[in-house]
Amino acid sequence: MAGRDYNAIELMTCVAARFLEDGATVGVGTGAPCAAAMLAQKTHAPGLFVVFEAGGLGPELPAMPISVGDSRTSHRAVMATSMADVFEMCQRGLIDYAFLGGAQIDVFGNLNSTVVGPFEKPSVRFPGSGGGNDFASFCWRTMVMTEHSPRRFVETLDFVTSPGYLSGGRAREAAGLPSETGPYRVITDLCVMGYGVEGWMEVVSIHPGVTRQDVKEATGFSLEIPEGVAGTEAPTEQELHVLRTDVDPTGVVIGRGS
């Protein structure tokens, strides 16, 4: 993003933070999603309640955590509890948002973080679900922050680790997942995507300096880009200031951007 005074990770983090409204509850991991939640707390959403799957509830994060179970995730927390307690909050319907990741994502927002190649002898073994499947199953709205490339946005996943809209339509409910839950936004270095009524991914806004052609070429499946799609609002000076000085002053997350 030459010529702009922010990098891709900073843009993605600012955009993600805007989706977290004051008073909401969000499950986060480490890295950019955690930075987004911290940025939201320090700007428009001081009452955002952050939970970490390992057991930290509502911490006042003193620094960027390295692990979702390190002691920063329960620093001045309102409770240090068990993992089952956290996921049962999710299963009961108390958690609004969660951020998810994966090596591959398909048009329905299903995610692969388990294997590439045959399961019994994979060419690449990834960590597996972790808590990803649980957050994806239970939380009202899930979001993904990822690099936009044809290697990631694929027609068919090698393995469906965590559920998006599965095969679309009412497939989640039919499978037994809680109703009215599912993927909400995908935030990449090129654009923001949401989902149509049948669960197909579609572009919501395109980032400054990015073309429709860029997005199409970086996506390994046929992606709906509505005519007259909006442009993503660039990070404001205030957002960037808080992000750089207060959220991630050492640059461990945002310093990795291009």
Partner 1 sequence: MDDDVTTGRGPLFSDPDPDRARAFFRSKRVALSEKVMSVDQAVSTFVHDGDYLASGGFGTNRIATALLHEVLRQEKRGLSFAGHTTTHDFEILCAGHVRGPLLARVDAAYIVGLEARGLSPQARRVMQSGDVEVCEWSNYALAVRLRAAATGVPFLPMRSTQGTDTFRFSASKTVECPFTGRPLAAVPALYPDVAFIHVHTCDPLGNARVEGISVADADLARASKRVILTTEKIVSVDQTRESPQQTLIPSACVDAVCEVPYGSYPGNMPGCYFSDEVHLREWLAVERDPNELTAFVDRLIYETDSFQDYLEASGATHRLAELEAIEKGG
C-beta of 75 vs 212, nearer to partner 1: 75
Among 70, 202, 214, 233, binds partner 1 (CB under 8 A): 70
C-beta of 66 vs 230, nearer to partner 1: 66
Among 174, 224, 237, 245, binds partner 1 (CB under 8 A): 174
Q: Which residue stretch of 20-28, 130-138, 200-208, 211-219 sits at the interface with partner 1 (rule: CB under 8 A)?
A: 130-138
C-beta of 104 vs 232, nearer to partner 1: 104
Residue 177 sits in the site that holds partner 1 (CB under 8 A): yes
Residues in region 193-222 near partner 1 by CB under 8 A: none
Q: Which of 213, 250, 248, 249 is nearest to 229 (CA)?
A: 213
Among 20, 24, 27, 134, binds partner 1 (CB under 8 A): 134
19 and 39 Cβ atoms separated by less than 8 Å: no
Residue 78 sits in the site that holds partner 1 (CB under 8 A): no
DSSP H helices in 156-196 = 171-175
Angle at CA of residue 218, ends 119 and 183, nearest 5° = 65
Among 7, 129, 149, 205, binds partner 1 (CB under 8 A): 129
Residues 6+ away with beta carbon under 8 Å from 83: 53, 54, 55, 131
109 and 202 Cβ atoms separated by less than 8 Å: no
Residue 87 sits in the site that holds partner 1 (CB under 8 A): yes
Among 127, 209, 226, 251, binds partner 1 (CB under 8 A): 127
Residue 137 sits in the site that holds partner 1 (CB under 8 A): yes
Task: For tokens 């993503």, name the residue.
Answer: 232
Residues 6+ away with beta carbon under 8 Å from 123: 116, 117
Residue 176 sits in the site that holds partner 1 (CB under 8 A): yes
Burial class of residue 4 in the structure, from the number of CB atoms within 10 Å of its CB (0-12 exposed, 13-18 middle, 19+ buried): middle
Residues 6+ away with beta carbon under 8 Å from 28: 34, 36, 37, 50, 51, 52, 68, 98, 99
Q: Which residue stretch of 36-44, 77-85, 191-199, 210-218 sits at the interface with partner 1 (rule: CB under 8 A)?
A: 77-85
39 and 242 Cβ atoms separated by less than 8 Å: yes
Residue 41 sits in the site that holds partner 1 (CB under 8 A): no
Among 22, 71, 222, 237, binds partner 1 (CB under 8 A): 71
Residue 180 sits in the site that holds partner 1 (CB under 8 A): no
Asked about 237 being catalytic, the answer comes back as no
Amino acid sitting at position 215: V
Instruction: Give the pair of three-digit tokens for residue 91.
Output: 């299963």
Residues designated as active site: 53
Q: Which spans of this chain sit near partner 1 (rule: CB under 8 A)?
A: 29-31, 53-56, 62-63, 66-75, 80-84, 87, 91, 110, 114, 119-134, 136-138, 159-163, 166-167, 171-172, 174-178
